[in-house]
């Protein structure tokens, strides 16, 4: 069979390797892969609090049974996770081996700092990579986000993006039609507020650093763009201003109290507890939403409706990945974990936890199909993920390597409008000026 490596989101043959039944050394002199080659080692893993990591904590004993490698897992909420990870990496700590990373957010910064181990040599080594790992099975767009100038910094663990969830029972009871276009959402929110003040019409991310993930869909769908055609900040474009105005006004006029402090945890709690009629939140929270009573029966889910004039639905589409620390002294053992965690077998088991697999063979496979077919809302969620992967974007800000700062500037523009401190045009202009300084 052919050993493959990931380069710029595409695959090229780098070496021929013997199959999994080969002897310890073949005529080529290559050492065959052995799952227990790193037996007796212990690796340290740091994860963001996420449905994937929650499920992985329950599965990791299977990894130890198969490989003999023990694991120490730490899971933190996102802000604490990022702060702790930064401390470890800046200190060049050898006590961290594997960590979750969102390359669309911190990839350029972490790579420039030298924090990622390059996975290309590990992928190419037949003694360290299982012959059936099949790297070509990953979504090219997701894996492309993990590749920088030929360096593979992570392997994908999921695919996700924000989806539009709405209470079908509330819409039916209040005789409000399902939103078919983006412009229908504020109309529906106004009708809900007038007809049943006991329910919150709308909820989405209002925390400054969390806003761009959801906000970009409003900009794109209404016909705007976060950047101009020549790559400069583009919030001041007329359609982009309209998207900014719509997102901010939904939070201001129809959102819950304290909306500007809300991220996914608060949004999902409101939806799950039945206190809100519409939300725009991550597909990755689907399993958590389904744990609440009745939500599997009364919710609808789909991608954010397209703009009426643009006909476009282009939301955010991202995927978390697993990376190996460049400072790790146990990189072969860490790579063994990455292979197991992102294998077809393991990803197939994660489906039941509502983790959307980035491997095409798993997403299109019989296990996922059986799971999705058990409930109509699962099928709707799966169909929405297909559309996300086909039409979504990983660009939430104008081109820059200072991604966290750029997203904070965008989130601040939305907050200024919600607080009444600036008109949408004023907030867009000020944000563009600040964003230009980051390019």
272, part of any domain:
yes
283, part of any domain:
yes
Instruction: Collapse the DSSP code of 185 into the 3-class scheme (helix H, G, I; strand E, B; otherwise coil) and give the result.
Output: helix
Query: Which DSSP letter does residue 323 get?
Result: E
178, part of any domain:
yes
Per-residue confidence band for 367, with pLDDT thresholds at 50, 70 and 90: confident
- Residue 220 shares a structural domain with residue 352: no
**Position 77 pLDDT exceeds 80:** yes
Query: Which DSSP letter does residue 31 get?
Result: B
Q: How many domains does the chain have?
A: 2
- Residue 135 shares a structural domain with residue 247: no
428, part of any domain:
yes
**CA 13 – CA 20 distance, rounded (Å):** 18
**CA 385 – CA 265 distance, rounded (Å):** 21
- Residue 194 shares a structural domain with residue 117: no
77, part of any domain:
yes
Closest CA to 323 of 140, 80, 87, 147: 147
Q: Which residue has better confidence, 13 or 162? A: 162
**Position 413 pLDDT exceeds 80:** yes
Closest CA to 115 of 186, 46, 174, 216: 46
Residue-level length of the chain: 439
246, part of any domain:
yes
- Residue 155 shares a structural domain with residue 45: yes
What whole-number percentage of the chain has pLDDT above 70?
93
Give me the pLDDT at residue 30, please. 56
CATH number at residue 191: 3.40.190.10
Note the pLDDT tens digit of each residue in 134-165.
998 987 767 788 998 889 999 999 988 999 99
Q: Residue 172 contacts by C-beta under 8 Å, 6 or more apart in sequence?
A: none
Note the pLDDT tens digit of each residue in 243-276.
999 999 999 999 999 999 999 999 999 999 999 9
**Could you tell me which residues are beta bridge partners of residue 147?**
152
- Mean pLDDT across the chain: 90
- Residue 367 shares a structural domain with residue 396: no
- Residue 93 shares a structural domain with residue 150: yes
- Residue 304 shares a structural domain with residue 174: yes
pTM given for the model: 0.83
- Residue 301 shares a structural domain with residue 324: no
Give me the pLDDT at residue 17, please. 32
- Residue 174 shares a structural domain with residue 190: yes
Q: Give the per-residue SS3 of 283-303.
A: HHHHHHHHCCCCHHHHEEEEC
**Position 10 pLDDT exceeds 60:** no
Q: 46-55, 91-100, 131-140, 283-292 — which is least confidently predicted?
A: 131-140
382, part of any domain:
no
Q: Which residue has better confidence, 108 or 331? A: 331
- Residue 41 shares a structural domain with residue 170: no
- Residue 102 shares a structural domain with residue 213: no
386, part of any domain:
no
- Residue 14 shares a structural domain with residue 103: yes
Domain hosting 61: range is 2-159+318-373
């Amino acid at each position: 069979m052919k050993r493959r490596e990931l380069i710029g989101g595409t695959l090229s043959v780098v070496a021929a390797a013997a199959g999994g039944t080969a002897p310890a050394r073949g005529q080529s002199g290559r050492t065959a892969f052995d799952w227990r080659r790193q037996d007796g080692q212990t690796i340290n893993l740091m994860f963001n609090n996420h449905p994937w990591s929650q499920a992985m904590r329950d599965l990791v004993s299977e990894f130890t049974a198969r490989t003999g490698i023990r694991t120490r897992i730490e899971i933190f909420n996102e802000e604490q996770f990022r702060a702790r990870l930064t401390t470890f990496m800046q200190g060049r700590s050898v006590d961290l081996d594997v960590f979750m990373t969102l390359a669309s957010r911190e990839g350029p910064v972490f790579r420039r700092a030298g924090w990622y181990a390059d996975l290309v040599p590990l992928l190419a080594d037949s003694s360290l990579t299982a012959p059936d790992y099949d790297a070509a099975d990953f979504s090219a767009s997701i894996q492309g986000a993990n590749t920088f100038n030929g360096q593979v910094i992570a392997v994908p663990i999921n695919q996700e993006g924000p989806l539009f969830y709405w209470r079908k029972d509330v819409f039916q009871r209040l005789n409000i039609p399902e939103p078919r276009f983006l412009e229908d959402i504020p109309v529906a929110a106004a009708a809900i507020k007038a007809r049943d003040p006991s329910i919150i019409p709308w909820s989405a991310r209002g925390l400054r650093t969390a806003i761009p993930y959801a906000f970009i869909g409003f900009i794109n769908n209404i016909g705007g763009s976060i950047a101009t055609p020549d790559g400069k900040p583009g919030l001041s474009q007329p359609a982009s201003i309209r998207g900014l105005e719509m997102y901010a006004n939904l939070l201001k006029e129809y959102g819950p109290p304290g909306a500007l402090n809300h991220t996914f945890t608060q949004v999902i709690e409101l939806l799950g507890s039945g206190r809100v009629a519409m939300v725009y939140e991550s597909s990755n929270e689907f399993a958590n939403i389904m744990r609440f009573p009745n939500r599997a029966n009364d919710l609808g889910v789909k991608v954010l409706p397209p703009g009426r004039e643009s006909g476009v639905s282009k939301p955010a589409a991202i995927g978390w990945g697993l990376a190996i620390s460049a400072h790790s002294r146990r990189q072969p053992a860490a790579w063994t974990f990455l292979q197991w965690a992102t294998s077809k077998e393991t990803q197939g088991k994660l489906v039941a936890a509502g983790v959307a697999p980035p491997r095409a063979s798993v997403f299109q496979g019989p296990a996922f199909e059986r799971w999705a077919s058990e409930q109509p809302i699962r099928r709707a969620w799966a169909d929405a993920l297909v559309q996300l992967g086909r039409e979504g974007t990983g660009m939430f800000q104008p081109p820059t390597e200072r991604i966290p700062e750029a997203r904070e500037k965008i989130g601040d523009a939305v907050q200024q409008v919600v607080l009444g401190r600036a008109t949408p045009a004023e907030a867009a202009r000020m944000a563009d000026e600040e964003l230009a300084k980051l390019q």
